[in-house]
């Protein structure tokens, strides 16, 4: 268990060390606020991304918590993201990526707190300011039990204005 937690922290720290400068990433063509649907730290619902600068963003997801057996609680996740250089510019589609850290809280039938790393692959549709994001979110459950979840994925689709 401790080995997984140390590995997660080391991985996120290494990715952040290679972070972007303000000149390396671009705010989405439609604006610095994206609103849509997504998931994060077990929470599925409304997704909001706000660029604090060209290279850094805050991402929030608010909605229902649960998977498979149904939803049992309300939750909120928040992430601090570093937008890294674009991997591919292909006319109307850009492919970019980001790394960051996040946290999630759940209240309802259960109460839970979770910390996570975030590595996102972003498909940016430039003419229509929409992004489609796939994320790998290795997580560390803090409450009610301590446990690691290395295989954890989420995604978002948002419109920017």
Ordered domains of the chain (ranges, CATH): 2-160 (2.40.160.20)
Nearest-CA neighbor of 30 among 123, 157, 131, 161? 161
Q: What is the pTM of this model?
A: 0.79
What is the residue-wise DSSP string for the chain? -HHHHHHHHHHHHHHHHTPPPTTT----TT-SEEEEEEEETTEEEEEEEEESSSSEEEEEEEEEEE-SS-EEEEEEEEEEEEEEEEEEEETTEEEEEEEEEEEEEEEESSEEEEEEEEEEEEEEETTTTEEEEEEE--EEEEESS-EEE-S-EEEEEEEE-
Residue percentage of the chain with pLDDT more than 70: 78
Between 53-62, 69-78, 108-117, 130-139, the lowest mean confidence (pLDDT) is in 69-78
pLDDT tens digit string along 86-145?
A: 999 988 999 999 999 999 999 987 788 999 999 999 999 988 999 999 999 999 989 888
């Amino acid at each position: 268990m401790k080995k997984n937690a140390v590995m997660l922290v080391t991985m996120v720290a290494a990715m952040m060390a290679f972070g972007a400068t303000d000149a390396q990433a671009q705010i989405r063509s439609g604006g610095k606020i994206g609103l849509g649907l997504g998931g994060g730290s077990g929470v599925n619902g409304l997704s909001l991304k706000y660029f604090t600068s060209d290279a850094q963003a805050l991402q929030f997801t608010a909605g229902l918590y649960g998977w498979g057996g149904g939803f049992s609680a309300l939750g909120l996740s928040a992430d601090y993201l570093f937008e890294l250089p674009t991997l591919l510019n292909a006319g109307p589609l850009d492919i970019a990526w980001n790394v960051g850290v996040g946290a999630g809280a759940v209240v309802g039938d259960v109460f839970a707190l979770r910390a996570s790393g975030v590595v996102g692959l972003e498909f940016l549709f430039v003419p229509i300011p929409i992004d489609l994001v796939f994320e790998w979110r290795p997580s560390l459950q803090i409450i009610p039990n301590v446990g690691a979840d290395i295989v954890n994925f989420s995604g978002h689709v948002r419109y920017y204005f």
